[in-house]
Amino acid sequence: MELALKLAEKGRGYVSPNPLVGCVILKRNRIVGRGYHKKYGEAHAEINALNEAGKKARGATLDVTLEPCSHWGKTPPCTERIVDVGISEVIIGMLDPNPVVTGSQELKFRGVKLKTGILEKEAKKQNEQYIKYIKTKKPFVIVKAAMSLDGRIATTTGHSKYITGREARKYVHKLRSELDAIMVGINTVLKDNPQLTTRLVRGRNPFIIVVDSTLRIPVNAKLLNDPSKVIIATSSKASKANVKQFLQRGVKVLTIKQKGGKIDLNELMKELGKMEIGSIMIEGGAELNAEAIRSKIADKILFFIAPGLIGEGLGAIGDLGIKKVDRSIKLKNLTSRKIGKDILIEAYL
């Protein structure tokens, strides 16, 4: 199962909104087939592993990180192929949270020996984005920030490039290539004019979501170099002429209702979920970070902390409305590790 989990990782960034899945087939304690889900809409991990195993699959054991599908979707049901080739036992990491997937029941009914929950914790961690999307039809949201040791993301003049080292920046670019979308607020666009690409690594560029209630984004903004990858979330305050201009360039424009004078992020998440965007990393400033946490759309934080002090400057998170320390938001499952000279803190909300 450990090998199956490693194989599954090869599909990260290519299978969303489908899950990451890896599969290993063993016969007489020897691996006869390996496979993983390579791309959304293509063959599932089990099929790829069975194709490699060929006739050796009969009487073998199939280890798979996620419950095999038993329904027709973009591909035929994996359970039918598993039964047809004569697999004798299936070992599953985690059950699929998608209610239409009943593969374990189908396999039991067809007389295949079954074990479930093997390295389940690791399998669920690997597919945390998929689990959130399937259960809520909303994307899994990461709030990312790079800051000094005293919590500043910019100086008093607004200067912020670069607080963290190249290794940390490269890691962020890798994350971008693995996620469906990056989200920023209009203030970040106006101040930094970011590209939000994966130029430091090999990988596809994600969608870019700009939260811009009055459509102030400049037509020559760098992130508009590929308009087909840009989604602007605006409101009824935006002029129809501006909306039309961006639509004609190939930009997707969503008109979202406001809440408290700002784009309602929960409504935005619903709309993005309908577009099959299953994961987002927020790379905005303090205001958008705070709004994401206040509105409870954020699932996870990634804070990169550089070994330097700035003193007076802009903090990583804006006003959360907390007046007493004992009302502070308690983070869960906090871990830390070094990336180059910087420290990465990862935690869940």
Residue numbers annotated as active site: 46
Give the dihedral of Cα atoms 100, 101, 103, 106; nearest 10 deg.
Answer: -10
Which segments within 164-237 are labelled E, that is strand?
Answer: 181-185, 207-211, 230-234
Residue 97 corresponds to which tokens in the numbers above? 């949270």
Residue 244 CB partners (closer than 8 Å, separation 6+):
none
* Residues 44 and 70: beta-carbon distance below 8 Å: no
Give the separation between CA 48 and CA 42, rounded to whole angstroms.
Answer: 10
In this structure, what DSSP letter does residue 115 have?
E
Residue 281 corresponds to which tokens in the numbers above? 């990393």
Which among 320, 315, 326, 277 has a CA at the least distance from the CA of 296? 320
Residue 119 corresponds to which tokens in the numbers above? 């390295």
Q: Is 226 helix (H, G, I), strand (E, B) or coil?
A: coil
> Given the DSSP bridges, would you call strands 152-155 and 313-315 parallel, antiparallel or unpaired?
antiparallel
